[in-house]
Structure 1
């Protein structure tokens, strides 16, 4: 069996996930997350400066603050608002940064809460442009009670961060710029696939379909998704599509 060599596109998710492509993307805008020139080193912070090393596409995170135990009962696991009505009450979404925009929607309250307690909320918002794949409350409800409780334990903070960081890219990426030739790299051996379905009208990132695409914020793009992207569930080995 012959595997096609993939080409990194120098896009990273928080801490270690990297979006890269299996083929060239000449139609991408040079200022987007698909820019081959954009990269970040392992020693830099989440909002660190870019370098010219396209193979060191990692954004480091060092968050030492403790996380308190969060009872599952305190989280909202329902969507109070119809999906197609999300953000309808906001005239200009660009007036908000990404996390402030997420906070305006009651459907994203659990995602916002977990970003807060994990310590990621403020750190990745310091500088630059980002993309968030924000799971709805009902997306978290699809997790088993055991898995959700496990993620909320103080001793499993690193696991919570690992799950949340896959939902964030440190460059702005519109839904039309995603395709099946790309993937979110977790390590040298594993990645999260990106798939198109229904003749390209449906975009799925590691089992999470985009429900509300391309909600613009002052510092990037928010896509609402219907599932939590679990690395342990959706990761594939490199070289196998």
Structure 2
């Protein structure tokens, strides 16, 4: 019996000294940031290309806590023919950045926060979007949230099935 108490005490001491476990990224050091999560998910390769073309990679790697409503590759494929290519051109970087910021909300938000509610959120572009979570799947504009709660060190990603267009200026 004394041996089991010693083993239990050693295990507890080990937990106290080691501290809480952290989710790990591919390097094993820490949880991946938003950029790394997008980079490592094949369904967001077009979103990643758009982030890079808009010079927004640093924002997704930064310390600010963000929630991204990230259009999947299938979502970008629904844009009118030639629209994505046009947006990715260097001369349209500001327009592309504004479009992407319309998909980003300050703070890290679990989808369950919105359950059974209609919530208006202010985006990084300064516009508002409405999330209707009164039914399933949750709806944002003309998009549905198809993947919820992809955690990152600096926020949360929710995959959506359509690109949310900002209001016309």
Give the TM interval when normalised to the shorter protein.
Answer: 0.7 to 0.9
Instruction: Please give the TM-score of this superposition, normalised by the length of structure 1.
Output: 0.52
How far, CA to CA, are the matches of 1:217 and 1:192 in structure 2? 22
- Structure 2 contact 34–60 (Cα < 8 Å) conserved: no
- Name the CA shift for 1:111/1:181 in 2 (closer, same or farther; >3 Å): closer
Match of 2:61 in 1: 125
Is the aligned partner of 1:137 residue 2:69? no
Q: CA deviation at 1:124?
A: 4.3
Q: Point out the structure with the larger helix share.
A: 2
How far, CA to CA, are the matches of 2:128 and 2:87 in structure 1? 21
Q: Which runs of 4+ in 1 moved over 4 A?
A: 91-94
How far, CA to CA, are the matches of 2:119 and 2:66 in structure 1? 21
- Name the CA shift for 1:132/1:99 in 2 (closer, same or farther; >3 Å): same
The structure with more radius of gyration: 2
How far, CA to CA, are the matches of 1:209 and 1:115 in structure 2? 21
Match of 1:203 in 2: 138
For each residue in 1:2-51, what CA deviation from the matched residue of structure 2 results, as whole angstroms up to 9, or x when unmatched?
Answer: xxxxxxxxxxxxxxxxxxxxxxxxxxxxxxxxxxxxxxxxxxxxxxxxxx
Match of 1:168 in 2: 104
For each residue in 1:80-124, what CA deviation from the matched residue of structure 2 results, as whole angstroms up to 9, or x when unmatched?
Answer: xxxxxxxxxxx8567211110111111111101110121111134
Q: CA deviation at 1:149?
A: 2.7
How far, CA to CA, are the matches of 1:119 and 1:209 in structure 2? 27
Match of 1:107 in 2: 43
Number of aligned residue pairs: 140
How far, CA to CA, are the matches of 1:182 and 1:192 in structure 2? 6
How far, CA to CA, are the matches of 1:232 and 1:146 in structure 2? 20
How far, CA to CA, are the matches of 1:182 and 1:166 in structure 2? 13
- Structure 2 contact 142–162 (Cα < 8 Å) conserved: yes
Match of 2:82 in 1: 146
Match of 2:148 in 1: 213
Match of 1:194 in 2: 131
Q: CA deviation at 1:184?
A: 3.4
